[in-house]
Amino acid sequence: MNLPRVGIVKFIILGKITFMRNELNLIANRQFDLLVIGGGITGAGVAHDAAARGLQVALVEQKDFASGTSGISSKLVHGGLRYLEHGQISLVYESLQERGRLLRNAPHLVKPLPFLLPVYADSRVPAWKWRAGLKLYDLLAGFANIAPSKTIAPFDLRKQNLPWAKFPPLCLQYFDAQMDDSRLCIEVIEAASQNGAAVANHLEVTALDLFPGRLSRIQMRDCLTGEQIECESKVVLNATGPWSDQVRKLAGETGPDLVKPTKGVHIIMSDVGLNAAMLLLHPKDGRVFFIIPWLDRTLVGTTDTEWDGQLGKVSATAEDINYLVDGFTHFLKPGVKPEVIQSFAGLRPLFNADASPSSRSREFKLHLGSNGLFSAVGGKYTTYRAMAEEITNALCKKLGNHNRCTTMNALLPGGYAIKRKGFEANGTKELGWKYGLNTIDAMHLLNRYGKRAGLVAQYCLENKMLAERIDPQLPDLMCEFAFHRDFEMARLPDDFLYQRTRLGYLLDDQALEKVRTRVAPFCNNYQS
């Protein structure tokens, strides 16, 4: 197949031509103000903020961007209604304000999502408490509120397409937002790169010689080619989430662990026709869990249990899956049996504290080791930008940089400042007449790439096969693979199938095998 490799794109009105380059010579033997270890959302947020303030920044990730915790979250940009029960009002307030900013700065990746909160007779939390909690949630959101919470009348509830659920005596509704977690992380890294940061994936930090107050030396290995490189940096930030203590030890730090991870599992089930997400209390232990519509499937999660196994080996056990299936089926009418398609598991990098997993704080902490290594641990995805601002303030203080944070109102690369409906209506027309895309394909690209959809669609002009679907059942198009290769540093098949699209999570083994042969020509061949 003829695969165009587009250097200079011919004409585009929907997006700016910028692409990340994975060139080791941008990092090797260079000096930086700040080296960020870890390409999850914490590292991405700091690299973006720091580069925008004019620091010389490098970000390195041992696998693919967002392949750690940041790609396996519940995909909710939320205030965290349940944290109100633990009195974490300031965390909820900050999260709700950040939710508002993300809806504005990345409207293609973060979208409002209604939540139903059915209150059954045997509910652990009484109706009055839910009502009071939702009122407080509305108040804390203030001007950033998506829509006020309300009670849904039984008549209206019948319109909610819930023929499969047990009918609750009372149902409340509120709004939060849903994100594409791995793509959001990649766009934040792209924003860092647009601001001058040097970024690399599949590049593992293997040794750290830290000299506080002087340049530190960092050794790295390209995990795909085996090439070893070195660079120097005035400050080093360890943003490796669950791996934080491993990297601290690599840098010679001793002392108690900063992170006590908990395992979170989700199951993907066949579509039950949800129009809204649902917040439910598990019948076994009263914990909050969610049923969420996701890419025409139903996402059920999550668990929250202690984890002291190996970091790279986390997986869902039969016990985890049964816990989620039991929780879901408890609320189903007899005879309704959605099928489990897949499961995925990850680790919450929570701050080490003596508390049960669910009540352990979701706040973050910035730790400065005696060797000068900064480690950022804890936090939530939703508050990544605010967290990054606080961390970058501390790093700038150390470096004597007095520039202020500018990310609060910065659109991400695919972001657009006009109303969603107008953008979609104009965008579908434009992608139709310029690149010959039908409305469904055009909407798919606009929803995933925002104003950069034109950069993806333009490959279809070069090769008609790139306008085809990757799998007949799913909306993903072949031209996306070309874009991921040229603009987003996808290198291995899994980079394309798990972080940039979600095909790996949605297809059965047979269909996935076929897709692997379709993606293979887009991957470079590496010698190890």
Ligand X SMILES: Cc1cc2nc3c(=O)[nH]c(=O)nc-3n(C[C@H](O)[C@H](O)[C@H](O)COP(=O)(O)OP(=O)(O)OC[C@H]3O[C@@H](n4cnc5c(N)ncnc54)[C@H](O)[C@@H]3O)c2cc1C
43 in contact with ligand X (CB under 6 A): yes
Specify burial of residue 424 (Cβ count, 10 A radius: 0-12, 13-18, 19+): middle
Binding mask 433-462 for ligand X (x = CB under 6 A): ------------------------------
Least distance from ligand X to the Cβ atom of residue 520, Å: 24
Q: Which residues contact 205 (CB under 8 A, 6 or more apart)?
A: 37, 60, 62, 218, 219, 220, 247, 250
Identity of residue 161: N
Choose which of 243, 351, 435, 449 interacts with ligand X (CB under 6 A).
Answer: 243
60 in contact with ligand X (CB under 6 A): yes
Choose which of 61, 94, 176, 190 interacts with ligand X (CB under 6 A).
Answer: 61
Closer residue to ligand X (CB): 72 or 395: 72
Identify which range of 64-72, 83-91, 479-487, 512-520 contacts ligand X by CB under 6 A: 64-72
73 in contact with ligand X (CB under 6 A): yes
Choose which of 74, 145, 173, 392 interacts with ligand X (CB under 6 A).
Answer: 74
Identify which range of 69-77, 85-93, 273-281, 403-411 contacts ligand X by CB under 6 A: 69-77
Residue 359 has a CB neighbour count (10 Å cut-off) of: 12
Q: Mark 226-261 as b/e (b = at least 16 C-beta within 10 Å).
A: eeebebbbbbbbbbbbbbbbebbebbebeeeebbbb
Closer residue to ligand X (CB): 260 or 434: 260
Half-sphere exposure of 272 (CA within 13 A, CB side): 28
Q: Mark 107-126 as b/e (b = at least 16 C-beta within 10 Å).
A: bbbbeebbbbbbbbeebeee
Choose which of 231, 247, 281, 288 interacts with ligand X (CB under 6 A).
Answer: 247
Residue 54: closest CA among 409, 390, 406, 391 = 406
Rounded CA separation 363/386 (Å): 11
Least distance from ligand X to the Cβ atom of residue 461, Å: 35
Binding mask 344-363 for ligand X (x = CB under 6 A): --xxxx--------------
Closer residue to ligand X (CB): 62 or 233: 62
Identify which range of 56-64, 161-169, 270-278, 456-464 contacts ligand X by CB under 6 A: 56-64
* Size, binding site for ligand X by CB under 6 A: 38
Q: Is residue 339 within 8 Å of residue 269, measured between CB atoms?
A: yes
Rounded CA separation 144/134 (Å): 15
Computed on alpha carbons and rounded to an integer, the radius of gyration of the chain in Å comes to 23
Rounded CA separation 468/258 (Å): 48
For residue 115, list its beta bridge partners.
174, 277
149 in contact with ligand X (CB under 6 A): no
State phi, psi for 284 to the nearest 5 degrees: -80, -45
Identify which range of 25-33, 157-165, 342-350, 392-400 contacts ligand X by CB under 6 A: 342-350
Least distance from ligand X to the Cβ atom of residue 485, Å: 20
**β pairing state of 288-294 and 277-281:** antiparallel
68 in contact with ligand X (CB under 6 A): yes
Least distance from ligand X to the Cβ atom of residue 75, Å: 6
Choose which of 15, 39, 369, 413 interacts with ligand X (CB under 6 A).
Answer: 39
Choose which of 70, 149, 407, 428 interacts with ligand X (CB under 6 A).
Answer: 70
Choose which of 380, 444, 451, 491 interacts with ligand X (CB under 6 A).
Answer: 380
* Interacting residues with ligand X between 212 and 241 (CB under 6 A): 239-241
Identify which range of 40-48, 267-275, 461-469, 503-511 contacts ligand X by CB under 6 A: 40-48
Least distance from ligand X to the Cβ atom of residue 159, Å: 27
Least distance from ligand X to the Cβ atom of residue 206, Å: 7
**β pairing state of 198-200 and 216-222:** unpaired
Q: Mark 362-377 as b/e (b = at least 16 C-beta within 10 Å).
A: bbbebbebebbbbbbb
For residue 218, list its beta bridge partners.
208, 231
What crossing angle do the helices spanning 384-399 and 41-52 adopt, rounded to 10°? 50
Q: Which residues contact 227 (CB under 8 A, 6 or more apart)?
A: 24, 221
Closer residue to ligand X (CB): 74 or 149: 74
Identify which range of 67-75, 314-322, 478-486, 510-518 contacts ligand X by CB under 6 A: 67-75
Least distance from ligand X to the Cβ atom of residue 456, Å: 25
Closer residue to ligand X (CB): 60 or 191: 60
Identify which range of 377-385, 389-397, 478-486, 520-528 contacts ligand X by CB under 6 A: 377-385
Least distance from ligand X to the Cβ atom of residue 272, Å: 20
Residue 355 has a CB neighbour count (10 Å cut-off) of: 12
For residue 476, list its beta bridge partners.
none
Least distance from ligand X to the Cβ atom of residue 45, Å: 8
106 is written with which tokens?
Answer: 């990345």
Q: Which residues contact 412 (CB under 8 A, 6 or more apart)?
A: 105, 106, 109, 184, 187, 188, 190, 191, 450
Give the residue closest to ligand X by C-beta. 40
Choose which of 204, 363, 390, 468 interacts with ligand X (CB under 6 A).
Answer: 204
Closer residue to ligand X (CB): 260 or 348: 348
Site of interaction with ligand X (CB under 6 A): 37-43, 60-63, 67-70, 72-76, 204-205, 239-243, 247, 264, 302, 346-349, 379-382
